[in-house]
Amino acid sequence: MKRIHWIWLLIFLGGIFLLEVNSIRHKTFTADEEDHYGYGWNILMLNADSRIEGNGTLMPFNSMNALPRLIGRHLSTGRLHDFLTDMMTGRLITMLFSLLLAFYVFKWSMELYGIHAGYFSLLLFAFSPNIIAHSRLITNDIFATCLMTISLYYFWRFITWGGWKRAAVAATLVGISQVAKYSCVGLYPMMVGIIMVRYGPDLVTELREKDIKSLTRIASVFLKYALFFAAVSLLIINAGFLFNRTFTPLEDYTFESNFWQNIQSQAGVLARIPLPLPVPYLEGPDSRQWESETGEHGNAYLFGETRNPGCFTGYYFWAYLYKVPIAIQLFLLLSIFVYIINFRKYNFSRNEAFLWIPIILFSVYINFFPGIQSGLRYSLPIFPLLLIFTGSLLKNWLDFRLLSKLGISVLAIYLIVSVLSYFPHYLSYFNELVWDRRQAYKILSDSNLRWGQNRWYLRQYLDSHPEAILFPRGPRAGRLVVGAGRLVGIFHPEEYRWLRDNFEPVDHVAYSFLVYEISQEELDTIPRDKKGLKK
């Protein structure tokens, strides 16, 4: 890559970093950040047995967020010490990983479709509000998204060019991803699916010809590499959890959820076999499954309806439709259309399969076999892959007609304007399908709108409106302020039914708190039974 391209790449990455840093300035810690930071610190203190109760998402890789604190505590008191030991500094680590992810989005797109495609994918990444939002938080969503993308990239290089060195790099990254977030376990079926698409036709040919020698060789190679990947993953998972009670038999686990208890009870003699996994590694999925079964996580919410327990089929398709910028959706559709028309000019099994097999498998899983639905963030791992593929639209950019270049440029400007219009509230971003931003709560809520990130803005509003009543207890007149999650009933569906069924918000605070102006006369027009009161 030429020197000028490196300069432009650094400018892009610097712009992304500045956008993330400036937009997080007044953002308070979200609901899970202290848990993730605390568990990461415990791992650094060599204590893997201190999982925060009620949070099954915690993983050792969050020790990266707490690493500045570990460094800072060895320094003498001063500005640097205070900066490094401040929990807010832990967010910078996530931002750095978002830049690493941005680099690989650029790199993979460029290697597949050329330099213009690389810059285009990077531009779409830079103005992807959902990625920006979570790149600033001490959670594991961006870590998982970054590691899954890079793992697939190096798996693509390994399958394309082979060799044990490439296999070792890919296997190591896949293993590291397993201690970032549980959804990364999906990398294993993704890789199997890619191999089936990549080598399926050759295998069918060998079967038809009944070439036993070739079939044996293929099986041997596959088994050899599969065992290598499994061994590396197990080693890293155990190291990540500090080998906490590794080789504990399944029968000695204490599970909370019916799902895992049933597995335990039906395992028979297999339950006595020591598992090559640390105990905390299975405690997480058990805890999440228990939350799903009991509804302790809160209600799933979509289009004004709540479900608990139970989820909405296709939830993330709707979330994608409303929370991904329209310009990015149009660019993706155009790239798919152009790809299909020129399908013979590409080599799907060698290249695009490494993007689309993971996209399809992950999308099917989260939309049709969900456990908990609370935000678009659970689908983040497919976003970089979609953006890389969308880069193919500009594969032959130099050959485009002036009108085509103008159209793409106008759509890109629309994307930038749409995203910047939400600055700095990217977690609450909805595209222009929700024209009145006060109405977004009627479509999606929970961490799609409010996750505890806007308490500073709420304090500012209450200071300037001392007459406002925050979270009123029962129906009453006046200026009322209610968080979107409580308004729609994520935990208590009936608490504010009287408000959401009879009134419309007149304002909002950082998009996540709704403001109502209700007169006593308006309140009196509501039937007594619809106020949440007995007749």
pLDDT tens for residues 474-529? 899 999 999 999 999 998 899 999 999 999 999 999 999 999 999 999 998 887 66
pLDDT in tens, 63-107: 999 999 999 999 999 999 999 999 999 999 999 999 999 999 999
Share above pLDDT 70 across residues of the chain, in percent, rounded to a whole number: 98
In angstroms, rounded to a whole number, what is the distance separating the alpha carbons of residues 306 and 302? 7
- Look up residue 273 and give its DSSP letter: S
Does residue 429 lie in a domain region?
no
Same domain, 337 and 441: no
Does residue 408 lie in a domain region?
no
Does residue 411 lie in a domain region?
no
pLDDT higher than threshold 60 for residue 178: yes
How sure is the predictor about 263, in pLDDT bands with cuts at 50, 70 and 90? very high
Instruction: Give the three-class secondary structure for 504.
Output: coil
Same domain, 353 and 500: no
461-470 contacts at long range (C-beta below 8 A, 24 or more positions apart): 461/509, 461/513, 468/515
For residues 332-360, average pLDDT:
96
Q: Which residues contact 108 (CB under 8 A, 6 or more apart)?
A: 149, 153, 156, 388
Same domain, 378 and 239: yes
10 Å Cβ neighbour count for 211?
Answer: 13
pLDDT higher than threshold 80 for residue 270: yes
Does residue 17 lie in a domain region?
yes
- What does the block give as tokens for 255? 């599970």
Q: At which residue do the structure tokens 């058990």 appear?
A: 286
Q: Which residues contact 74 (CB under 8 A, 6 or more apart)?
A: none
In angstroms, rounded to a whole number, what is the distance separating the alpha carbons of residues 500 and 304? 10
∠ CA 507-512-513 to the nearest 5 degrees?
50
∠ CA 440-442-447 to the nearest 5 degrees?
65
Same domain, 475 and 370: no
pLDDT higher than threshold 70 for residue 51: no
Does residue 351 lie in a domain region?
yes
User: Considering its fold, how many domains does the chain have in total?
Assistant: 2
Last residue within a domain, chosen from 370, 399, 428: 399
Same domain, 360 and 508: no
pLDDT in tens, 398-422: 999 999 999 999 999 999 999 999 9
Does residue 366 lie in a domain region?
yes
Same domain, 197 and 322: yes
Instruction: Give the three-class secondary structure for 300.
Output: strand
Is residue 516 within 8 Å of 482, Cβ to Cβ?
Answer: yes
Q: Which residues contact 59 (CB under 8 A, 6 or more apart)?
A: 39, 140, 179, 180, 181, 182, 240, 284
- Alpha helices (runs of H) in 428-483, residue ranges in sequence order: 455-464
For residues 6-27, average pLDDT:
96
Domain that holds residue 479: 437-531
Last residue within a domain, chosen from 399, 424, 459: 399
Same domain, 313 and 442: no
Does residue 426 lie in a domain region?
no
**pLDDT in the model for residue 535:** 35
Same domain, 320 and 464: no
Same domain, 224 and 304: yes
pLDDT higher than threshold 70 for residue 39: yes
The length of the chain is: 535
Is residue 283 within 8 Å of 315, Cβ to Cβ?
Answer: no
Same domain, 468 and 374: no
In angstroms, rounded to a whole number, what is the distance separating the alpha carbons of residues 152 and 158? 10
Same domain, 463 and 370: no
* CA-only gyration radius of the chain, Å: 25
For residues 197-207, average pLDDT:
84
Does residue 469 lie in a domain region?
yes
Is residue 102 within 8 Å of 125, Cβ to Cβ?
Answer: yes
How sure is the predictor about 207, in pLDDT bands with cuts at 50, 70 and 90? confident
Instruction: Give the three-class secondary structure for 47.
Output: coil
pTM of the model: 0.95
Same domain, 359 and 459: no
Answer left, alpha or beta for residue 400, where phi above 0 means left and psi between -120 and 50 means alpha.
Answer: beta
The whole-angstrom distance between residue 282's C-alpha and the CA centroid of its chain comes to 21
